[in-house]
Amino acid sequence: MIKAVTVVQQTSTPAEFDQLAGFFSALGFEKGKGWETSDGRGSSFLAPLGNLEFVLGSLPASSTILIEVTSLDSVREVASRWLKQNTTASRISEISETDWNSRLFTVELPPAASFTFWEWIDPLKGKPIALEGDLSAEGMRFAIVVSRWNAVITDRLLQGALDALLRSGARKENVRILRVPGAWEIPSAARKAAESGNFDAIITLGVLLRGETAHYEAIYNEVARGIGQSQQETGIPHTFGVLTCETLEQALDRAGLKMGNKGFEAAAAAIEMVSLHRKLETGAAAK
């Protein structure tokens, strides 16, 4: 019956509210549904996993809000850069090890907000270390191929993708948006963009609704096959943000209304795949 745990952090001024919202947006948190009334406003930030923990005895030397991450050094770099650009009254600690097999750092934002970011020292518990990409888009070039059909959906997907890229360090001039009539045309434009050599990854965005066409499966299969073939034959990472839904309501939910934004997820996957390719090309896998 339990569905989720929500931690509420109260702010005293609009400036403090905007500061916290900006900080967590810069770190890559997915924006949830906000609210606003005559008494105040709220902005939620979503995480894939939540825990409620009780402690008997001394509390850990950290804030009461702990955020687990998978690349602590990268998160600290992003946090430090944002703090320098947006506030002079904050404090960020150095990364330190704990006695519970982890590393962490703490950010203190005025007047009384404190957050600790941490990761396991050995997250794989002795298993072989996996090579994976980082979520920093600095210096990367992207093409976003997005269909105009059902623009009420695809525009939301596009905004989610741009949000993920720009908050991860991509520059606007390194992101090219290619609009095509519908999902059927996506593979052709994606292949052309990949073959141009101007992009490190291709992000494909579109939507197919079963109720709108009698040959739904045929179109979907060809679109998926075309995108996959383009990726395999060009060697350029392609990410799949083409929604396949029964109804318009389902598509809206997956475009940021209730179930996250598939465009954001596709862009984040593109960043990670470019990073992974670069590590493989530079021999990082042998380190």
Active site residue 277: no
pLDDT at 122: 80
- Residue 183's φ and ψ, nearest 5 degrees, are -65, -35
pLDDT at 264: 92
CA distance 228 to 59: 50
- Residue 267's φ and ψ, nearest 5 degrees, are -70, -40
Which residues in the chain land under pLDDT 70?
Answer: 1-2, 123-129, 212-214, 258-259, 284-287
Closest residue by Cα to residue 82 from 47, 107, 115, 53: 107
- Buried b / exposed e over 240-268, threshold 16 CB at 10 Å, is bbbbbbeeeebbbebbbeeebbbbbbbbb
Residue of 215, 235, 283, 287 with catalytic role = 215
Identify the CATH assignment for 14-120 out of 3.10.180.10, 3.40.50.300, 2.40.50.140, 3.40.50.9100: 3.10.180.10
Domain range annotation of the chain: 14-120, 142-281
Identify the residue whose tokens are 């997820």. Answer: 265
Burial classification of residue 25, based on how many CB atoms lie within 10 Å of its CB (0-12 exposed, 13-18 middle, 19 or more buried): middle
> What would the pLDDT profile of 167-202 be if each residue is shown by its tens digit?
888 999 999 999 999 999 999 999 999 999 999 999
Would you say 240 and 186 are in contact if contact means Cβ atoms under 8 Å apart?
Answer: no
pLDDT at 127: 61
Domain at 142-281: CATH code: 3.40.50.960
> What would the pLDDT profile of 229-258 be if each residue is shown by its tens digit?
999 999 999 999 999 888 888 888 888 776
pLDDT at 29: 82
pLDDT at 242: 93
CA distance 278 to 287: 14
pLDDT at 128: 63
pLDDT at 269: 94
Q: How many CB atoms lie within 10 A of CB 196?
A: 12
CA distance 171 to 255: 23
